[in-house]
Amino acid sequence: MVSRIILCLLLIAGAGLLPGAGPAESQTVMDYSAYDALLREYVNPRGLVDYERLCADPALGSVTEQLSRADPDRLDRGEALAFWINVYNAFTLKVICDNYPLESINDLHGGGLILGTVFKTTIWDKKWFAINGEKMSLGHVEHKILRPRFEDPRIHFAIVCAARSCPPLRAEAYIAGRIEGQLDDQGRIFLSRPELNRFDLKSQTAHLSGIFKWFLKDFGKNKKDLLTYLAAFTPAPEVRDLLENQPGAWTVRWNDYDWSLNRQ
């Protein structure tokens, strides 16, 4: 009888039906040590990249090859979120280095930024890399995976399109076990940089990144919802208090976007 019970338990465990015994494909943990070392070497505390040295280092190609071979379907939510953010940022670095030197990522669009956006010929639309055998574009990663699947506005603090007005590139890889803290920290960094976002307390004017204009609906229904959301990431307590309690009293101005390369 005992042997039968043991046999049944082994069969159940093998089927993944015991508590904590999930399917193997949901338990993959990514190793970003090589990517992490690359970022620490070539990204400074301001989030700017030493492209001269980075683009001469074959390690970047090894990192993107490693990401290409991964199977994202085997990742749980936290691992998947970290993975896709790392994919976006690493392959953005790769496309810059593949075409370096250049002045802006906009140099890579077919027809320039405006026509490229209209006719879907930007570098973000081009399917030039693959993940687990599936061809995809940077735009697909952002708009078809990260934004709709995770519905976390903090993604906009983390993905970096190689422009100076983007959030600073984090000098470390995103890791599932730390990603909540990393995303919150990115929000605080982005909101504390006056050249990117600035809150004028005297005039109660918020001078905000164009990112918030383009993706306003990711932060709520309107500008009031946006300001309420951003309150948690603002460094000044008096600004935070007004944003939380009187968001409608603020005027929002959108900053011009600096598309020049985020190089050191």
Mean pLDDT of 222-246: 96
- CB-based contacts of 44: which residues, under 8 Å, 6+ apart? 50, 171, 264
Q: What is the model's pLDDT at position 87?
A: 99
Sign of CA pseudo-dihedral 140, 141, 142, 148: positive
pLDDT in tens, 166-220: 999 999 999 999 999 999 999 999 999 999 999 999 999 999 999 999 999 999 9
Which of 10-19, 111-120, 183-192 has the highest average model confidence (pLDDT)? 183-192
pLDDT in tens, 65-110: 999 999 999 999 999 999 999 999 999 999 999 999 999 999 999 9
pLDDT at 2 over 90: no
Q: How many CB atoms lie within 10 A of CB 58?
A: 7
Whether this model's pTM surpasses 0.85 = yes
Q: What is the model's pLDDT at position 28?
A: 85
Tell me what percent of the residues of the chain surpass a pLDDT of 90.
89
Half-sphere exposure of 98 (CA within 13 A, CB side): 14
Q: What is the model's pLDDT at position 66?
A: 98
pLDDT at 36 over 60: yes
262 neighbors 166 (Cβ within 8 angstroms): yes
Q: What is the model's pLDDT at position 202?
A: 95
Q: How far apart are the first and last CA of the chain?
A: 71
Mean pLDDT of 25-32: 76
